[in-house]
């Protein structure tokens, strides 16, 4: 049988068959040794072939299966595993788009985290919209900063939205984008992914929690990845909050390709193999000095060059 992985608990997978039946599946034993260097060889959004397994005497547990094959992925979001620097973790596969939920306050999303996520999405062909949540909590001293950050990323070429999942401001405008699509919601812990899904689709009633007062960081409310039907032939994917984003399997000479403005301006560099770090007549470094490339974006690029070192994992802070 063939189906779609809609839930991943870390040790089992819920698969919705093409006929609409739901199966609780495991992965075939030798599946993990087929050269897949990830902590999760099967991810949310994967399309798989599985064999139903008979369970005698228990109707509730009757629909079980064994995943035997994985379809080719059209795209995916991947990051380096924080505790296993030589392995990666696939956040989701086969998505039509991604909403990266970020917050300026309570908690503050680091720009380097945003840049690393966007670069990985560029590398694996995932369109991203930046969704700035909790705008109702932003005080006057931070409003100019919010405007500046949004202007930065819109200038680079990323759509940006301002919303409050709590008050509902700006949320309706997102609803039309979700129609008929598989959309990944990702971001740091505490940015309000589950609250946003509840505002969009109240019937799902996902569990949420408060921000930690001591550190203004989010508590992990979502403990595993799950796909939810939106009722209009679409799905939203809710994932656990990400504390850091280490890029995986990017060669040093390729990193600049995934920063849109750096790649564009690099065509004017004197050397074709310019790393934009020390070479003379580097158009990218000149653009940084002119403020045509944001210093924060350039610093994120430099930090990602360091990720090539196999013994180093850089959290996105």
- According to the model, what pLDDT value does residue 54 have? 74
In a shared domain, residues 54 and 147:
no
SS3 call for 30: helix
Tell me which of 215, 238, 261 is where a domain ends.
Answer: 238
In a shared domain, residues 83 and 196:
yes
In a shared domain, residues 159 and 179:
yes
In a shared domain, residues 265 and 138:
no
Tell me which of 70, 102, 119 is where a domain ends.
Answer: 70
In a shared domain, residues 96 and 219:
yes
In a shared domain, residues 85 and 174:
yes
In a shared domain, residues 21 and 121:
no
What does the DSSP assignment read for 29-83?
A: GGGGGSS--BS-SS-TT-EEEEEEE--TT-GGG--EEEEEEEPPPS-EEEEE-SS
- According to the model, what pLDDT value does residue 82 have? 55
Q: Work out whether strand 235-238 and strand 182-186 pair parallel, antiparallel, or are unpaired.
A: parallel
CA distance 114 to 93: 19
CATH number at residue 81: 3.40.50.300
Within 10 A of 115 (CB to CB), how many other CB atoms are there? 25
- Cross-strand pairs, 46: none
Tell me which of 211, 238, 265 is where a domain ends.
Answer: 238
- According to the model, what pLDDT value does residue 312 have? 42
pLDDT tens, position by position, for the chain (317 residues)? 999 999 988 778 999 999 999 999 998 776 654 555 677 889 999 999 999 987 665 555 558 999 999 999 999 988 775 554 556 788 899 999 999 999 999 899 999 999 999 999 999 899 999 999 999 999 988 999 999 999 999 999 999 999 999 999 999 999 888 889 999 999 998 999 988 998 998 888 776 554 433 334 334 344 578 999 887 788 999 988 776 665 656 788 899 999 999 999 999 999 999 999 999 999 999 999 999 999 999 999 999 998 755 444 333 32
Count of domains in the chain? 3
State which H helix or E strand residue 15 sits in: strand 13-17
- According to the model, what pLDDT value does residue 189 have? 87
Residues comprising the chain, all counted: 317
CATH number at residue 55: 2.40.50.140
> Is the pTM for the entire model greater than 0.75?
yes
In a shared domain, residues 85 and 153:
yes
Residue numbers of the domain that contains 185: 76-238
Q: Work out whether strand 225-229 and strand 182-186 pair parallel, antiparallel, or are unpaired.
A: unpaired
């Amino acid at each position: 049988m063939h189906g779609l992985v809609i839930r991943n608990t870390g040790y089992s997978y819920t698969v919705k068959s093409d006929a609409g039946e739901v199966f609780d599946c495991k992965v075939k034993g030798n599946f993990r040794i087929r050269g897949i260097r990830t902590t999760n060889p099967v991810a949310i959004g994967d399309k798989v072939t599985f064999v139903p397994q008979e369970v005698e005497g228990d109707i509730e547990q009757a629909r079980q299966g064994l995943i035997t094959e994985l379809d080719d992925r059209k795209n995916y979001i991947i990051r380096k595993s924080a505790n296993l620097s030589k392995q990666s973790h696939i956040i989701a596969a086969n998505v039509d788009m991604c909403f990266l939920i970020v917050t300026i306050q309570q908690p503050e999303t680091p720009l380097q985290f945003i840049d690393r996520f966007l670069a990985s999405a560029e590398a694996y062909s995932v369109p991203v919209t930046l969704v700035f949540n909790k705008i109702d909590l932003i005080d006057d001293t931070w409003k100019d900063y919010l405007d500046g950050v949004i202007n930065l990323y819109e200038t680079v070429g990323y759509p940006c939205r301002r919303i409050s999942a709590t008050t509902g401001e700006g949320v309706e405008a997102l609803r039309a984008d979700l129609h008929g699509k598989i959309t990944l919601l990702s971001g740091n812990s505490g940015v309000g992914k589950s609250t946003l899904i509840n505002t969009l689709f109240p019937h799902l009633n996902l569990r949420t929690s408060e921000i930690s007062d001591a550190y203004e960081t989010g508590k992990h409310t979502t403990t595993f990845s799950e796909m939810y039907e939106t009722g209009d032939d679409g799905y939203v994917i809710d994932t656990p909050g990400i504390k850091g984003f280490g890029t995986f399997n990017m060669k040093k000479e390729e990193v600049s390709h995934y920063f849109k403005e750096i790649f564009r301006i690099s065509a004017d560099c004197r050397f074709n193999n310019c790393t934009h770090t020390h070479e003379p007549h580097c158009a990218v470094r000149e653009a940084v000095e002119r403020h045509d490339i944001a210093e924060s974006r350039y610093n994120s690029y430099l930090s990602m060059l360091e990720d090539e070192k196999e013994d180093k994992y850089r959290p996105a802070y």
